Structure 1
Amino acid sequence: MLSLLLSSMLLAPPAASPAGVVKPGATLEKLWSEGEFTEGGAEAADGSILFSDIGTRIMRFDPETNEVTVFRSPSGRANGLIFAPDGRLVAAEGANTGGNRRVSITEVDGTVRTLADSYQGKRFNSPNDVAVDAQGRVYVSDPRYVGDEPRELDEEVVYRIDPDGTVTRLETTATKPNGLVVSPDGTTLYVSNNGPDLKALLKLDLDPRTGEVSNPKKIKDFGNGRGIDGMTVTRDGLVVAAAGSGPLGGVYVYRPDGTPVDFIAVPENPTNVEFGGPDDSTLYITAGVSLYRIETTLTGYRPEPPAK
Structure 2
Amino acid sequence: MLRNLQFLTLWQRRLVFFLMFGGILMALVAVTWLLARGALIGGERVQGVPLSPEITVRELVALPGDDAYPAAVAAGPDGTIYTGSYKNGVIWSLTLDATSDESVTELPHTRDGIGAVNGIAVAADGSLLVVDQEDSDPRTAGGDVKRVTAEGVALFAEIDDAQGFVAPNDIVIDSLGRVYVSDPGRNEIWRFEADGSGGVVWWVAPDLAPAASGSTSARRRGLTGLAYDATRDAIIVTDPEYNEIFRVSVAEGGLELLYQHGTRQRPPGFDGAVVAPDGTLYVAALGVNSIARVLDNELEYLASGFRGASDVEFVAPNRLIVANFDQTSLAPVIVPLFAPQLPFALDVIEMTAP
Matched, 1:70 2:106: yes
In 1, distance between residues paired with 2:76 and 2:61?
Answer: 17
Q: CA RMSD in A?
A: 2.9
Q: 1:139 aligns to what SS in structure 2?
A: strand
Identify if the C-alpha distance between structure 1 residues 46 and 110 changes in structure 2 by more than 3 Å, giving closer, same or farther.
farther
2:284 alignment partner in structure 1: 242
Identify if the C-alpha distance between structure 1 residues 105 and 280 changes in structure 2 by more than 3 Å, giving closer, same or farther.
farther
Residue 252 (structure 1) shift: 0.4
CA distances 1:70-97 after superposition (whole Å, capped 9, x unpaired): 2221322111111023322111111435
Residue 30 (structure 1) shift: 4.9
Matched, 1:199 2:199: no
In 1, distance between residues paired with 2:123 and 2:193?
Answer: 12
Matched, 1:124 2:156: no
With 267-276 and 222-231 compared, the bigger mean Cα shift is at 222-231
Gaps in structure 2 of 5+ consecutive residues: 1-49, 207-220, 327-343
Residue 29 (structure 1) shift: 2.4
Kindly tell me the number of residue pairs found equivalent between the two proteins: 258
In 2, distance between residues paired with 1:222 and 1:82?
Answer: 31
In 2, distance between residues paired with 1:298 and 1:129?
Answer: 29
Q: Does the CA-based 8 Å contact 1:249-1:269 persist in structure 2? A: yes
2:25 alignment partner in structure 1: none
Residue 113 (structure 1) shift: 1.9
1:148 alignment partner in structure 2: none
Residue 45 (structure 1) shift: 5.1
In 2, distance between residues paired with 1:119 and 1:298?
Answer: 46
Identify if the C-alpha distance between structure 1 residues 101 and 222 changes in structure 2 by more than 3 Å, giving closer, same or farther.
farther
Q: 2:244 aligns to what SS in structure 1?
A: strand
Q: 2:254 aligns to what SS in structure 1?
A: strand
CA distances 1:237-290 after superposition (whole Å, capped 9, x unpaired): 111111044xx42110113x43334421233120111123xx442221101242
Q: Does the CA-based 8 Å contact 2:59-2:345 persist in structure 1? A: no
Aligned counterpart for 1:281 among listed residues 295, 318, 323: 318
Q: 1:73 aligns to what SS in structure 2?
A: helix
2:204 alignment partner in structure 1: 172
In 2, distance between residues paired with 1:298 and 1:83?
Answer: 27
Q: 1:125 aligns to what SS in structure 2?
A: coil
2:61 alignment partner in structure 1: 31
2:348 alignment partner in structure 1: 293
Q: 1:55 aligns to what SS in structure 2?
A: coil
Residue 139 (structure 1) shift: 0.8
Aligned counterpart for 1:61 among listed residues 73, 78, 94: 94
Q: Does the CA-based 8 Å contact 1:158-1:172 persist in structure 2? A: yes
In 2, distance between residues paired with 1:102 and 1:110?
Answer: 19
Write the letter of the residue equivalent to 2:62: W
Query: Identity over the aligned pairs, expressed in percent?
Result: 21
Aligned counterpart for 2:298 among listed residues 243, 259, 263: 259
Identify if the C-alpha distance between structure 1 residues 36 and 94 changes in structure 2 by more than 3 Å, giving closer, same or farther.
same
Aligned counterpart for 1:41 among listed residues 33, 49, 73: 73
Residue 162 (structure 1) shift: 1.2
In 2, distance between residues paired with 1:184 and 1:263?
Answer: 23
In 1, distance between residues paired with 2:132 and 2:194?
Answer: 18
1:51 alignment partner in structure 2: 83
Q: Does the CA-based 8 Å contact 2:172-2:226 persist in structure 1? A: yes
Equivalent positions of 1:130-149 (< 5 A) are 130-144=171-185
Q: 1:123 aligns to what SS in structure 2?
A: coil
Matched, 1:271 2:310: yes
Q: Which has the higher strand share?
A: 1
Q: Does the CA-based 8 Å contact 2:244-2:257 persist in structure 1? A: no
Equivalent positions of 1:201-216 (< 5 A) are 201-207=245-251, 213-216=253-256
Q: 1:103 aligns to what SS in structure 2?
A: strand
Residue 200 (structure 1) shift: 1.6
In 2, distance between residues paired with 1:45 and 1:184?
Answer: 14
Q: Does the CA-based 8 Å contact 2:187-2:204 persist in structure 1? A: no
Identify if the C-alpha distance between structure 1 residues 221 and 65 changes in structure 2 by more than 3 Å, giving closer, same or farther.
closer
Identify if the C-alpha distance between structure 1 residues 222 and 269 changes in structure 2 by more than 3 Å, giving closer, same or farther.
farther
Q: Does the CA-based 8 Å contact 1:54-1:78 persist in structure 2? A: yes
Matched, 1:158 2:189: yes
Larger of the two Rg values belongs to structure: 2
